Structures are given as structure tokens and as C-alpha cells.
Amino acid sequence: MTPLELKEYLDFKAEQYNTAKFIESDPIQLPHRFSRKEDIEIISFLVATIAWGKRAMIIKSGERLLDIMEHSPFEFIQNYEKRTDLSFVHRTFNAIDLDFFFRSLKNIYQNGGLEKAFSLHPDFEGVKGRIVNFREYFLETEHEQRSEKHISNPAKNSAAKRINMFLRWMVRKDNCGVDFGIWNSIPKSELYLPLDVHTSNNARDLGLLIRKQNDWKALDELMQNLRAMDASDPVKYDFALFGIGAFEK
């Protein structure tokens, strides 16, 4: 496949999967139930945080999170006080982690909100620095050491899949109705896609990724190739690379 043919193929696949139908089987369906910015942000962030495993199980756990928050995420976070009676488990994310996340989100919203927490970092460029800045801010709230593994650190070469997915949801804006595009402080050209098994394997098959590890260095390599195809919206190709692996044999 020539570079032009590859671009045309990925453009076609991105358009094929970036539609409202994608929402039906994806965890992004949960924040799509809300209209207030803060509600969308909070449930999106929490669902993205637990987004590993089968999508049906992620959605089921997300429903449980909504039940705990009485289907009013922002109001719940505003009034939250430390609790030891929470009942929640998704993989290795448990009630101890959830209590910490609720308390940290409350602190964040008392000091400008989630979008502000992803401000630029003085020591790292672009979205990498934004994630590092957010992580440092998020971990200022008292917590147990075990909870830190749920906030990825690209400064230590993590691909930060779940945070990058959350950022795609918040920042990317088009007319297709999947991503929300409710944050204006981050350009979509700056975004990195959420690198998972589907996207990385398909990127390697298509010659877009050579590095074997699924880490930030691999993500840098992949994004450089995707930006060569569309510098203004490179993360639209997440729909193509994910869709090929998730929906096609």
C-alpha cells in the first residue's frame, strides 16, 4: 500500500466508525446521557479510568458508578465527604480508590475544574505535560499508595491510554456526535490516541508502528505518522485503528 493509499484507507475507516452507531456498544454511551459540562466530565473521567477489559463489563461497572452518584455526578462530587461504606470493584480498582477519586475530584472542582487541571506543565511539552500536570494535581489529595497506579504517568513512559481516551472525548469536536468537544483550551491537533491492543497491533500491521512495546515512545512514533496524514486532527484515526480490530475479522 502506498502512503496515499494508506491515508485513503484510514480516512475511509475513520469515517465508517466515527458515527452515532459507535456509541451503542461503547462506554462513551454513559456520559452521552448528560448535557451539563461537569456531569459529562466527571462520568467520562471515571468511566475512562476503569476502561480495561471487555466493553460490556466496563459499561456495567459504569452503570454502578452512576447508581452510587445517584445519577447526578457533579452534585454528588460537590457534596461528597470521605466514606468507608462504598461498595465497588472493577478489576483492581476498588472502593478505596473510588473514595480517593471522589475526594480528589471535589478538590479539583473547588479550584477551577477538570479542564483547568490539564494545564500545560513547565517541564514537558504538549499533552504529555498536561497529563503530568493533572497527575501531580490529582495526587495532592490524601490517598493510599495503591491508588496511584490508576493515574498513568507518561513521564515514566506510560502510554496513558485511559487518560488519552478521556481527553479525546473532551477535546475532539466534529459533526459526527461521538466525541463531545466541550473543552476549548486544548487543540485537537495536540491529542494522542489511546494506545491499546487493537490500535497498536493494527498500526504495526499497516507499517505505522515499529516499536514493540505499547508505551509513550511507541505512541510518539505512531502519532508522528498519523500527523503526517492529518496534522489538524490525527486522533480521528483512532476510530479506524480501533474499529478494524474490534469490529472486523
pLDDT tens column, 6-36: 999 999 999 999 999 999 999 999 999 999 9
- Contact (Cβ atoms closer than 8 angstroms) between residue 98 and residue 42: no
Q: Which three cell numbers stand for residue 102?
A: 471522589
| Separation between Cα atoms, residue 7 and residue 26, nearest integer Å | 25
pLDDT tens column, 77-99: 999 999 999 999 999 999 999 99
Question: Sign (positive/negative) of CA torsion 106, 195, 8, 248?
Answer: negative
Q: Are strands 89-90 and 93-94 parallel, antiparallel or unpaired?
A: antiparallel
Which pLDDT value is given to residue 249? 61
Question: Residue 158: what residue type?
Answer: S
Q: Which three cell numbers stand for residue 210?
A: 515499529
| Separation between Cα atoms, residue 178 and residue 23, nearest integer Å | 6
For residue 33, which of 172, 180, 197, 168 has the smallest C-alpha distance?
180
Question: Residue 210: what residue type?
Answer: I
pTM of the entire structure?
Answer: 0.96
pLDDT tens column, 194-246: 999 889 999 999 999 999 999 999 999 999 999 999 999 999 999 999 988 77
Count the helices and strands in the chain (H runs, E runs): 12, 2
Angle separating helix axes 161-171 and 37-49, nearest 10 degrees: 160
Which pLDDT value is given to residue 108? 98
Mean pLDDT of 101-125: 96
Q: Which three cell numbers stand for residue 142?
A: 490524601
Which pLDDT value is given to residue 198? 85
Q: Per-residue pLDDT for 160 more than 70?
A: yes
Q: Which three cell numbers stand for residue 246?
A: 474490534
pLDDT band, very low/low/confident/very high, at 161 (cuts 50, 70, 90): very high
User: H/E element holding 93?
Assistant: strand 93-94
Query: Which residue intervals of 71-113 are DSSP H helices?
Result: 73-78, 95-109
pLDDT band, very low/low/confident/very high, at 103 (cuts 50, 70, 90): very high
Exposure string over 37-73, b if 16+ CB within 10 A, otherwise e: bbbbbbbbbbbbbbbeeeeeebbebbeebbebbeeeb
| Separation between Cα atoms, residue 224 and residue 213, nearest integer Å | 16
pLDDT tens column, 58-74: 999 999 999 999 999 99
Q: Domain count of the chain?
A: 1
Q: Which domain holds residue 193?
A: 3-247
Question: Sign (positive/negative) of CA torsion 233, 184, 162, 215?
Answer: positive
Burial of 117 (0-12, 13-18, 19+ CB in 10 A): buried
Q: Which three cell numbers stand for residue 165?
A: 481516551
